[in-house]
Amino acid sequence: MKQISAIIDQLDTALAGEWPDAPGIRQLSYSLQKQPDTGLLEWLSAQPCYPKFYWQQRDGHEEAAVCGDCCSFGDMQRAQEFIRQHQDISDLHIWGLNAFNGADSSDVPANALFLPRIELCRLGNTYWLRCTLFSAVSLHEEAHRTRLFLRSLVASRALPPITSRVVQHQHLPAEPQWNQLITRALKSIEQQRFDKVVLARKTTLTLSQPLNACAFLAASRAVNHHCYHFMLAFTPQQAFLGSSPERLFLRDHTELFTEALAGTVANHSDNQKAHELGEWLLSDGKNQRENLLVVDDICQRLQGGAHSLDVMPAEILRLRKVQHLRRSIHGELTDADDAGCLQRLQPTAAVAGLPRQAARKFIAEHEPFDRQWYAGSAGYLSNEQSEFTVALRSAAVKGHHLELFAGAGIVAGSDAAQEWQEIENKAAGLRTLLEEHYTPVVQAG
């Protein structure tokens, strides 16, 4: 990427100039005259600095690779306040993750959301590089730190092949425990403690060698279409990534776009059979009820924060392994409040249940693992526009281990075996990327 190297040189020259020995924030942007020789994910993978975040919008029109943090935020409210305090810098973007249970878990890294030093971005066929300096003490010192940071950046290189071999896998809960969990959930529904609860499974794959997170995400991106693709790498050995079909919300000034994605059936490689499965899903009462529960909950939660809500008719979203029912929802916000949108919409009924607090209580008491980032959200916020995807079809890379997550909505009439098959299908979106390297063993646990 000679263009990027030339821009880095220009940046270094600019940073070598006079900078005030006082607090402040500055941003420098440079357009790339042509498309880079390699992709943004390849460039990000090569960089030795952390944290680093990758984002591609599900229509493929918007993409970003960002790294280095000049400021980090423990929650959305603080990130939003920072942007509002610096509205004179129009292109401030804060990127990252929001945990399912918020940022109050000691196991969750603090820099879930961060203002990056360097952003390499694409909108359609237009590329640019953005550098941000921020210091609460001295911009002069920050310019010096940023010059040192720029010197750590390296040229892009091809992603390594995926050679990690699966040597063992463990489900948590395993299928017998899953069946017991569903029985307990159905009993609670019968006792009217809640109408729906979304229960999840974590599958831990033990690998023959550490997995390159960027290479794994690239493999997912190549086959899992119509999805948001995201990754936050904390260290060379630790990352959280996913290819999620679901938008949590898009805010464009005060316009809000969200959706209810609930109701699932398998996909099929034969288009006619896939169509028949989709038609069944559109007419199935259980799946329609599940979707409409989510629609009603979203509309209720937006009361007081948005008006003129429009709900679109149900449609089929066809993915690689499954098909979903989706209803899009559009409204006008009373205030451009991203923290408020997050508080109202996360977690949705599609990943937690209804009523939300009762379902979350059941999950906390009975699900045998901490979801952390799974079923939280990933994306960015800025002054004019913000967008977050629900962190589904996701995985945590932890050295020699890969944790895969998938969930299913449990309502009256749910069948444990069918729900187990549903989470198998959902997890397959990422699991099958490693199947050619899988060595069968007796399942642990």
In this structure, what CATH number is given to the domain that contains residue 290?
A: 3.60.120.10
66 belongs to a structural domain: yes
What is the per-residue pLDDT for 165?
A: 87
- Distance in angstroms (rounded) separating the CA atoms of residues 354 and 347: 11
444 belongs to a structural domain: no
157 belongs to a structural domain: no
Task: Kindly state whether residues 111 and 237 are assigned to the same domain.
Answer: no
- Distance in angstroms (rounded) separating the CA atoms of residues 365 and 361: 6
Task: Kindly state whether residues 148 and 259 are assigned to the same domain.
Answer: no
- Distance in angstroms (rounded) separating the CA atoms of residues 357 and 349: 10
* Mean of the per-residue pLDDT values of the chain: 92
Confidence of residue 289 (pLDDT cuts 50, 70, 90): confident
Confidence of residue 170 (pLDDT cuts 50, 70, 90): very high
Q: Which of 98-112, 185-199, 268-282, 297-311 has the lowest mean pLDDT?
A: 98-112
Task: Kindly state whether residues 220 and 350 are assigned to the same domain.
Answer: yes
Domain termination site, one of 107, 127, 152: 152
**DSSP H stretches of helix in 40-174:** 40-46, 76-85, 139-152
Alpha-carbon separation of residue 102 from 139, 260, 296 (angstroms): 32, 21, 23
What is the per-residue pLDDT for 369?
A: 96
What is the per-residue pLDDT for 383?
A: 96
Task: Kindly state whether residues 279 and 226 are assigned to the same domain.
Answer: yes
What is the per-residue pLDDT for 444?
A: 35
Task: Kindly state whether residues 137 and 174 are assigned to the same domain.
Answer: no
Task: Kindly state whether residues 133 and 181 are assigned to the same domain.
Answer: no
Following CA atoms 350, 295, 302, 353 in sequence, which dihedral angle do they give, to the nearest 10 degrees? -30
Q: Which of 29-43, 64-78, 103-117, 330-344 has the lowest mean pLDDT?
A: 103-117
22 belongs to a structural domain: no
What is the per-residue pLDDT for 1?
A: 55
Across the range 1-14, mean pLDDT stands at 88
Alpha-carbon separation of residue 408 from 102, 282, 308, 370, 384 (angstroms): 21, 18, 31, 16, 34
Q: How many CA atoms lie within 13 A of 280 on its CB side?
A: 11
What is the per-residue pLDDT for 411?
A: 87
158 belongs to a structural domain: no
Task: Kindly state whether residues 102 and 229 are assigned to the same domain.
Answer: no
Domain termination site, one of 92, 125, 152: 152
Task: Kindly state whether residues 285 and 356 are assigned to the same domain.
Answer: yes
Q: In the predicted model, is pLDDT for residue 75 greater than 50? A: yes
User: Range of 173's domain?
Assistant: 166-437
Q: In the predicted model, is pLDDT for residue 445 greater than 50? A: no
Q: In the predicted model, is pLDDT for residue 2 greater than 70? A: no
pLDDT tens-digit series, residues 243-266: 999 999 999 999 999 999 989 999
Across the range 62-79, mean pLDDT stands at 95
How many domains does one find in the chain? 2
pLDDT tens-digit series, residues 83-112: 999 999 989 999 999 999 875 444 555 458
Q: In the predicted model, is pLDDT for residue 440 greater than 50? A: no
What is the per-residue pLDDT for 437?
A: 42
What is the per-residue pLDDT for 250?
A: 98
Task: Kindly state whether residues 52 and 76 are assigned to the same domain.
Answer: yes
Residue with tokens 């991106």: 221
Q: Which neighbouring-strand residues pair with 238? A: 235, 398
Has 279 been labeled as part of a binding site?
A: no
Has 367 been labeled as part of a binding site?
A: no
What is the per-residue pLDDT for 425?
A: 87
Task: Kindly state whether residues 43 and 100 are assigned to the same domain.
Answer: yes
Q: Which of 33-37, 277-281, 390-394 has the lowest mean pLDDT?
A: 33-37
Task: Kindly state whether residues 250 and 131 are assigned to the same domain.
Answer: no
Domain termination site, one of 88, 123, 152: 152
Task: Kindly state whether residues 144 and 209 are assigned to the same domain.
Answer: no
Across the range 206-235, mean pLDDT stands at 95
Q: In the predicted model, is pLDDT for residue 354 greater than 80? A: yes
Catalytic residue numbers?
196, 246
Alpha-carbon separation of residue 180 from 47, 415, 443 (angstroms): 46, 12, 19
pTM of the entire predicted model: 0.93
353 belongs to a structural domain: yes
Across the range 224-248, mean pLDDT stands at 96
